[in-house]
Amino acid sequence: MKTNYNNMSVKELQAEETKLRSELFNLSFQHKVNQLQDTSRIKIVKRNIARVKTALRQKEIAGAKE
């Protein structure tokens, strides 16, 4: 699921990153014990984490310019 992270506040983005990292940890653990059915989900979560980090960095840069 692709979410528009640019419209979220910094607090919401940080919470989303924490949630995604937790999900990634759980998926990795499931993958290691051979209980994960959809291994492509790991790739999707990693990309979403990157999207959140990019949005956070853009907000950081925009705040520094002001």
pLDDT given at position 64: 80
What's the full length of the chain, in residues?
66
Please state the domain extents for the chain.
Answer: 7-65
Would you state the structure tokens that stand for residue 6, as one six-digit string?
């640019």
Total Cβ atoms within 10 A of residue 19: 14
Higher pLDDT, 1 or 63: 63
User: What is the reported pTM?
Assistant: 0.89
The separation between the first and the last C-alpha atoms of the chain, rounded to the nearest angstrom, is 32
**What is the maximum alpha-carbon separation in the chain?**
49
Q: Classify domain 7-65 by CATH number.
A: 1.10.287
pLDDT in tens, 14-61: 999 999 999 999 999 999 999 999 999 999 999 999 999 999 999 999
